[in-house]
Amino acid sequence: MNAASQHLPEESFVCLGDQEDEPPSTIGKFFSNKTAATDFTPSLFDAPPLAPARPRVMRMNPKARAFRKVFFPAATDQEWSDWQWQLRNRIRTREQLRHMLTLSPDEEQALAQHSELLPASITPHYMGLVSSHDPEQPIRRSVIPTVYEMVKCPGEAEDPLGEEHQSPVHGLVHRYPDRVLLLATDFCSTYCRYCTRSRLVGQGDLSPSRERLEAAFAYIRQATQVRDVLISGGDPLTLSDEKLEWILSSLRAIPHIEIIRMGTKVPAVLPQRITPQLARMLRKYHPLWMSLHFTHPDECCYETERACNMLADAGIPLGSQTVLLKGINDNATTMKSLMHGLVKMRVRPYYIYQCDPINGSGHFRTPVAKGVEIIRALRGHTTGYAVPTYVIDAPGGGGKIPVMPDFVTGREGNDITLQNYEGKSYQYPDYITE
């Protein structure tokens, strides 16, 4: 990454063809419009007024460039860089997938029978990362349906986390005392085949209507113990800036809400959505945190790095969430590479989730021992900031429970025995005083 990529200008972006590079940084320009009364940013960080808009270029990763050349040859640089164009041109049909990929029999069969299940949808950007010929490629497995998602294994359920039983208002989950989960929309630009909310996403039942969301705000307003709202979905960053700002400002107007968090996969699947205008709007609602969903190191391409840097430059603390998936990221080398990619993009690895037992997810699920093994391979072997917490979301609504390798291996009198990352044992004096 060059230094210029960390600080992005105010202007609209266009993609870079084969010949150009991103222009020098215009740091300071795009965080200058402090207009709303809800802007909590200290004046210390104010910047000079904006320069007049002028066209800019944005570099594309080589895979996306090659993909675009073959399948969207008429798309202009401006169109490819426009998140709405990316949404309009999502790949959703069997015919499109057949045209772009050599489908395996398992994929063919799934697409032929697929009408009632989780829809298939992939942005052109993300499709550029999908292998056209290898059905086992991790990115491809995460978004292309296979027949295995139609197989229900023991213990699986439509709503294994029991969210429906903890929803006082449609689209609002109140599981923990001091925080709530607001499902702003059921729409995602790209549908992950292992989605925990596959019962909801893409079904059209959770529209971001004013009426539904106002009912959620009314609940939060009277629940004075709630200090933290997580906005998720679906993917909330697929909403317009105006709708998002209405949601954020409505929550900010509730006196007992201390922090707002957003959960999104947009920086990985639709990085064009992260615009200077969006970043400038979001920074008015601090403290605002984001949990970014990543699956594989191949997602850490140039465009995603640019999106994460723009969010980080807007002062948003970024954490990651990764689902442990068989054949996709279930080995220490892949996971370490992903965690390193994340910290380089200023995203703090936060959670690795054991795959929830949703219907049809058995082919993705690993034994719990695999997650413990991966954490053991990370802890002490790399930067502490690159080591997330491995958790199981307890079926039935028990919440997230951390699962850790046991580094305390015994006790001898007043000493406990600890094992370090190399497997060596150490004694630590641990006197029990009355």
Angle at 76 between CA 71 and CA 77, to 5 degrees: 105
Say how many C-beta atoms besides its own lie within 10 A of residue 376's C-beta.
19
Residue 331 three-state SS? coil
> By the 8 A CB rule, do 378 and 344 touch?
no
Region of 185-193, 217-225, 363-371, 403-411 interacting with ligand SF4 (CB under 6 A): 185-193
Residue 112 burial (C-beta neighbours within 10 Å; 0-12, 13-18, 19+): exposed
Helix, strand, coil shares of the chain as percentages rounded to 5?
35, 20, 45
- The question of whether 176 is a catalytic residue gets the answer yes
Pairing of strands 228-232, 259-264: parallel
**Residue 413: exposed, middle, or buried by beta-carbon count in 10 A (0-12, 13-18, 19+)?**
exposed
DSSP per position, 219-260: HHHH-TT--EEEEESS-GGGS-HHHHHHHHHHHHTSTT--EE
Cβ proximity to ligand SF4: between 61 and 232 the closer is 232
Is 311 near ligand SF4 (CB under 6 A)?
Answer: no
Out of 68, 179, 336, 376, which one is annotated catalytic? 179
Q: Is 59 a catalytic residue?
A: no
**Residues 212-241, interacting with ligand SF4 (CB under 6 A):** 233-235
User: Which residue among the candidates 29, 56, 140, 197 is catalytic per the annotation?
Assistant: 197
Least distance in Å: CB of 188 to ligand SF4?
Answer: 3
Q: CA angle 295-65-138, nearest 5°?
A: 25
Which one of the spans 146-154, 193-201, 375-383, 423-431 is the region binding ligand SF4 (CB under 6 A)?
193-201
Side chain identity, residue 291: S
65 is catalytic: no
Q: Which residues contact 213 (CB under 8 A, 6 or more apart)?
A: 171, 182, 184, 247, 250
Smallest separation (angstroms) from ligand SF4 to the CB of 66: 25
**What is the DSSP code string of 249-290?**
HHHHTSTT--EEEEEE-HHHH-GGG--HHHHHHHGGG-SEEE
Map residue 323 onto helix, strand or coil.
strand
- Cβ nearer to ligand SF4, comparing 24 with 204: 204
Which of 65, 94, 134, 176 is the catalytic position? Answer: 176
Task: Give 137 or 190: the residue with its C-beta nearer to ligand SF4.
Answer: 190
Which of these is catalytic: 192, 300, 308, 355? 192
Out of 75, 130, 195, 244, the residue judged to bind ligand SF4 by CB under 6 A: 195
CA distance 4 to 1: 8
How many other CB atoms are found less than 10 A from the CB of residue 401?
11
> Is 400 one of the catalytic residues?
yes
Known catalytic residue: 393? yes
CB of 118 to ligand SF4, least distance (A): 7
- Which one of residues 197, 273, 365, 376 is an interface residue with ligand SF4 (CB under 6 A)? 197
Least CB distance to ligand SF4 at residue 403 (A): 21
Choose which of 126, 191, 302, 390 interacts with ligand SF4 (CB under 6 A): 191
Could you confirm whether 153 is annotated as catalytic?
A: no
Angle at 193 between CA 190 and CA 198, to 5 degrees: 85
| Using rule CB under 6 A, residue 188 touches ligand SF4 | yes
Distance CA 62, CA 16 (A): 11
Residues numbered 329 to 358 that lie near ligand SF4 (CB under 6 A) are: none
Report the relative pairing of strands 348-354 and 408-412 from DSSP bridges: unpaired
User: Which residue of the set 90, 199, 356, 390 is catalytic?
Assistant: 356
Binding string to ligand SF4 for residues 255 to 274, with x set by CB under 6 A, is what?
----------x---------
Cα distance between residue 366 and residue 384, in whole Å: 24
Which one of the listed residues 126, 140, 188, 284 is annotated catalytic?
A: 188
| Pattern 273-302, ligand SF4, x by CB under 6 A | --------------------x---------
**28: its two tokens:** 């300071």
In the bound state with ligand SF4, the residue whose beta carbon lies nearer, of 50 and 278, is 278
Residue 15 falls in the annotated catalytic set: no
Catalytic residue among 195, 300, 308, 355: 195
Among 75, 172, 192, 216, binds ligand SF4 (CB under 6 A): 192
The number of beta carbons lying within 10 Å of the beta carbon of residue 332 is: 16
Residue 125 touching ligand SF4 (CB under 6 A): no
Least distance between ligand SF4 and beta carbon 88 (Å): 18
Stretch that binds ligand SF4, among 51-59, 195-203, 212-220, 372-380 (CB under 6 A): 195-203
Residue 188 known to be catalytic: yes
192 a catalytic residue: yes
Q: Which residues are catalytic?
A: 175-176, 179, 188, 192, 195, 197, 356, 393, 400
Site for ligand SF4, rule CB under 6 A: 188, 191-192, 195, 197, 201, 233-235, 265, 293
